[in-house]
Amino acid sequence: MKPVSTSVLLPHTRLAAVRDTIVGCERCPRLREHCRQIAREKRRAYRDDTYWGRPVPGFGDPAARLLLVGLAPAAHGANRTGRIFTGDGVGGSGDFLMDALNRTGFASIPTSRHIDDGLTLFDAYIVAAVRCAPPENTPTPGEITQCLDHLEAETAELQRVQVVVALGKIAFDVWLRVLERRSVALPPPRPRFAHGEVTRLTGSPGAPEYLLGCYHPSRQNTNTGKLTPDMMRAVFRKARRLIR
């Protein structure tokens, strides 16, 4: 039998190692204690569930050409299920996002309820700027900085990414910081977040070519109409067109 080339195996092995490092992270005492407390106390609707309660790695297609960057796990969503944008209730941000991804060909089903629900991402990968659920959904600037290493390391293993969709201003600004850490030259003036706005990073080695802004699919945005299903689908249709 012909041996399998290590050049095929190593990228996936490295990604798995990065994910293990994320799951075992203890850098931010406030966040780690909050996640453990939530996992102990639980929400009544999930009292029989075993909460994940640890930092949450990204998930999706390792060969993805589309990367989504979110903010942080939800206390009773990803902090419970162990998968980002998963389990935050019917009609929550996970369902809203997956419906848009499903309708644009990036996801197998239009919902994201639990880790064994059969959801598969096609040509897409999702990460978060911060990997632990923060109190009041608000990480501190220091906690965001502490987590930059994880975002940089995980996305460095996704070597086919061409388009990044930043879900919210914080994710947008964090991704710009990752690019700066990689010494990628940003176009002047410095890109600013706006829903549906496209920033092109032509001629920047080591960086995806396009960055798109998108409002975060939080209930605060979706319930008020700031972000509608059509608005979110339009972003991913645009991303689909930009992918070569």
Q: Give per-residue pLDDT as tens, 153-179.
A: 999 999 999 999 999 999 999 999 999
- The Cα–Cα gap between 82 and 17 comes to 17
- The Cα–Cα gap between 53 and 34 comes to 9
Any domain includes 24 = no
Any domain includes 171 = yes
Position with higher pLDDT, 177 vs 11? 177
- The Cα–Cα gap between 48 and 45 comes to 8
- In this structure, of 94-103, 106-115, 196-205, 225-234, the range with the lowest mean pLDDT score is 196-205
Contact status, residue 112 vs residue 139, Cβ threshold 8 Å: no
CB atoms within 10 A of CB 205: 8
How many domains is the chain partitioned into structurally?
Answer: 1
Residues sharing a CB contact under 8 Å with residue 112, sequence separation 6 or more, in sequence order? 83, 85, 86, 87, 94, 95, 97, 98, 119
Any domain includes 15 = no
On the question of pLDDT at 93 being above 60, the answer is yes
Q: What is the pLDDT of residue 13?
A: 87
Q: What is the pLDDT of residue 181?
A: 92
HSE of 20, CA atoms in CB hemisphere, 13 A: 6
Any domain includes 8 = no
Q: What is the pLDDT of residue 6?
A: 31
On the question of pLDDT at 2 being above 50, the answer is no
Give percent above pLDDT 90 in the chain: 87
Average pLDDT over residues 146-158: 97
Q: Which domain holds residue 176?
A: 29-242
Give percent above pLDDT 70 in the chain: 94
Structure confidence at residue 5 as a pLDDT band (50, 70, 90): very low
Any domain includes 122 = yes
pTM over 0.75: yes
- Asked if omega into 110 is within 30° of 0 (cis), the reply is no
The enclosing domain of 157 has a CATH number of: 3.40.470.10
Any domain includes 131 = yes
Q: What is the pLDDT of residue 52?
A: 98
Any domain includes 17 = no
Beta bridge pairs of residue 166: 69, 213
Contact status, residue 209 vs residue 200, Cβ threshold 8 Å: yes
Any domain includes 12 = no
Contact status, residue 68 vs residue 167, Cβ threshold 8 Å: yes
Mean pLDDT score of the chain, rounded to an integer? Answer: 93
Structure confidence at residue 203 as a pLDDT band (50, 70, 90): low
The phi and psi torsions of 207 (rounded to 5 degrees) equal -130, 145
Structure confidence at residue 206 as a pLDDT band (50, 70, 90): low
Could you read off the pLDDT of 56-87 as tens digits, one per residue? 999 999 999 999 999 999 999 999 999 999 99
Distances (CA, A) of 114 to 35, 72, 127: 18, 17, 17
User: DSSP of 188-239, one letter per residue?
Assistant: SSPP---TT-EEE-TT-TTS-SEEEEE----HHHHTTTSS-HHHHHHHHHHH
